[in-house]
Amino acid sequence: MNSSEFIPENIWKASFPLRCFWYLVTPEETCFEKPEDVPDVISQVIPVFVTFIFIEAVICQFKGRFRFNDALVSLANSNLLRVFEFIGERHLPFIVYTYFYANFRFYTFSWDSLTAWWLAFLMNDHGYYWEHRFLHETMVGWAAHQVHHSSQDFNLTTGIRQSLFQKFFSAPFYIPMALIGIPPQLFMIHLGVSLVYQFWIHTELIDGLGPIYNFLFNVPKHHQVHHGTNKFCIDKNYAGVLIIWDKIYGTFEEKDDHKDEQIAYGLLHGSESFSFFYIQLRYYQFIFDEVLSQSTFGAKLRKIYVFLTKGPGFTEDKPDLRLGDINDYPEGYPNYKIYNPSLSIRQSLYTLTQMTAAAYLMSFFLERQSVYSTYDDHEKFSNACCFPVIIFLVRKTQTENYHVFYSCIRR
């Protein structure tokens, strides 16, 4: 269907960033002949991100359900991630994908193939389901992904609180797409739009978009369960766009079946810091300390094996339960304290201004280069501009002593 038959072409094109949030994109506008032509979708939607966050924050503030301090931590983590993407981390999945596509594919789809476009959509989303499940069901994956779950609120800012290291685990889950010959540019655009879709489902203002849509797609009420620490929420609803994967693989949990139980968000042990360095590194510190504490080399290797293959709920006294015993989790609302240090209005406004400026500065440069580009002089210039801003931001927005950060990397 040609959208221009119903909507003026200039309006349709300008609405692309907004439509990405609900995957309302067409093959015609998301097929690119060359990988270097693929735009950075995330940078394109930043203005819409900010608008949605502002609207939700105003509504939640009137309802008494918005914590500015927690939201600032999410924004700071998002900015820190963008710095890592400048360095080149964002290229890793594409480099691996292109290698397998160039050397091991057994078929070749055309870059503008409609069949390839739909296959890319389905296989990308299926790959994300298993990537997400891996991040939850192994300790080494959880060390990265727990950053995203560390907020004790559930709002749009939670959606941009991401790990600096998660991309190091993602590439293997998309290799099947490369092997069947789906061009890298289709993988790249679907990966970007999929990530944008997953932003809007981080809210409590709405539950879904109707029974038919909710049956097929991931919506806020499904993802609320995923972020919950209640017993019925553990290891559930891993989907990215299509919730059908959870229903197929037995990991789906319906929120409506637990209407009498309020969902508690965050981590099972609660939260004890707003230092984003600490949030990013604390689980790695735990792994490192556990390995070093073993008395023999063999014991160290066994501990490493546990971290690579067992879930974060695993205990040595129940070795047959890879993910731990669900019966060990308490019934009802988890008993932990909300971490809520005070932040003055002056500090809040100053920090928000700094982070907004940094976010727009980074997006300005990222949007003007391909997702697939090499680390050229253009990127070096953008790094030179952004790093001082981020370092200044880090120095000024820490609400705790620096010993928290140093304790994370002391070894």
Query: pLDDT, tens digit, for every residue of 339-382?
Result: 877 766 777 677 667 666 766 666 666 555 555 554 444 444 44
In a domain, 193, yes or no: yes
In a domain, 53, yes or no: yes
In a domain, 77, yes or no: yes
Half-sphere exposure of 333 (CA within 13 A, CB side): 9
Is there a single domain that holds both residue 178 and residue 65? Answer: yes
Closest among 121, 127, 145 to 193, alpha carbons compared: 121
| Domain span including residue 306 | 278-325
Rounded CA-CA distance 116/100 in Å is 17
Is there a single domain that holds both residue 133 and residue 217? Answer: yes
Is there a single domain that holds both residue 282 and residue 267? Answer: no
In a domain, 255, yes or no: yes
Is there a single domain that holds both residue 82 and residue 59? Answer: yes
Place of tokens 């680390």: 375
In a domain, 27, yes or no: yes
In a domain, 330, yes or no: no
Query: Which runs of consecutive H residues, i.e. helices, occur in 230-275?
Result: 244-249
Closest among 178, 176, 217 to 200, alpha carbons compared: 217
In a domain, 45, yes or no: yes
List pLDDT tens digits, range 283-307: 999 999 999 999 999 999 999 999 9
Is there a single domain that holds both residue 299 and residue 237? Answer: no
Rounded CA-CA distance 207/287 in Å is 37
List pLDDT tens digits, range 41-57: 988 898 899 899 999 99
pTM as predicted: 0.85
Is there a single domain that holds both residue 235 and residue 249? Answer: yes
Domain boundary (303, 325, 347) is at 325
Is there a single domain that holds both residue 383 and residue 240? Answer: yes
CA angle (48, 50, 52) in 5-degree steps:
70
Rounded CA-CA distance 248/243 in Å is 9
Is there a single domain that holds both residue 226 and residue 241? Answer: yes
Closest among 55, 45, 46 to 19, alpha carbons compared: 45
Is there a single domain that holds both residue 197 and residue 62? Answer: yes
Is there a single domain that holds both residue 311 and residue 399? Answer: no
Q: Which of 136-140, 220-224, 325-329 has the lowest mean pLDDT?
A: 325-329
Q: Which residues pair with 368 in a beta bridge?
A: none
**H or E element, residue 304:** helix 297-309
Residue 394 has pLDDT above 50, yes or no: no
Task: Give Cβ neighbours of residue 149 (< 8 Å, ≥ 6 apart).
Answer: 227, 266, 267
Is there a single domain that holds both residue 53 and residue 186? Answer: yes
In a domain, 187, yes or no: yes
Residue 136 has pLDDT above 80, yes or no: yes
Task: Give the count of domains, the chain.
Answer: 2
Is there a single domain that holds both residue 109 and residue 209? Answer: yes
